Amino acid sequence: MFLQDAVSTRRQVSPKRLSFLAAYFALALGAMAGLAGCGQAPAEGMAMPPPAVTVSYPIERDVVDYNDFTGRTAAVDSVKVRARVWGYLHKINFTEGAEVNKDDVLFEIDPRPYEARLDRLDSDYRRAASLLARRAISQEDYDHALGDRKEAVAAVGSARANRDTARLNLDFTKVRAPISGRVSRAMVTVGNLIESGETGGTVLTTIVSLDPMYVYFDVDDLTFQLVRQVVRDS
């Protein structure tokens, strides 16, 4: 206000008043500078505490490089179970999805036709063997019997082979697990006609092995090159 007064009326103010105004403003500026200096100067004897810091010590240990890959598993052994003889399915002896052991009886085919055939062929064999053993005859009869004996020997051999085949077929009416592993579901139900054969035979179920197993996974080219270099250097 005084300054405005002085500027607007400086031509009308006396030199004495101008000297007073100048001294007043000088004193005011000095006081303001002193106050500003006092506000910025730290108080003597008061030290700031050190800042809190967190210290982490280094850890020394072996580090192994690794990568994660998405893999898919596959059984080492996989078998489609088929019957070796024809017949009607009589019984299923496993739980679907369960683990089975080698030679467990999984299916049973109706054995009655094979039992009847075995009985008949067994009788044929015994009859042929009995004819071969008879020798209480005349010379003429013996000569005739000699030729008959040769036929009987052949008949005995044929009967024995047929009997053994029939016994084997009877055993094949019990379909056994060829390997140990996990069994799939039954592809047929009881009462169905089962056909034998490796190619055209009825697939009864599937068994896959569990231990060991294959694991397949895809690796990018860069990782493959790095792993191969590590293997080469190790």
Report the DSSP beta bridge partners of residue 88.
Answer: 193
Whole-prediction pTM value?
0.61
pLDDT digits (tens, 9 = 90+) for 17-50: 556 555 655 655 555 555 555 555 555 667 788 8
Q: What is the CA radius of gyration of the chain?
A: 55
pLDDT value at 6 more than 50: no
Residue 132 to residue 145: CA distance in whole angstroms? 9
What class, spelled out in words, does domain 74-212 have in CATH?
A: mainly beta
- Rounded to 10°, the helix 112-133/139-172 angle is 160
Enumerate the domain spans of the chain. 2-39, 74-212
C-alpha neighbours within 13 Å on the C-beta side of residue 4: 1
Look at residues 98, 106, 101 and name the one whose alpha carbon lies nearest to residue 184: 98
The residue to which tokens 């009859």 are assigned: 127
Query: Distance (Å, rounded) from C-alpha 207 to C-alpha 179?
Result: 7
Instruction: State the average pLDDT for the chain.
Output: 79
pLDDT of residue 51: 84
- In one-letter notation, the amino acid at residue 199 is T
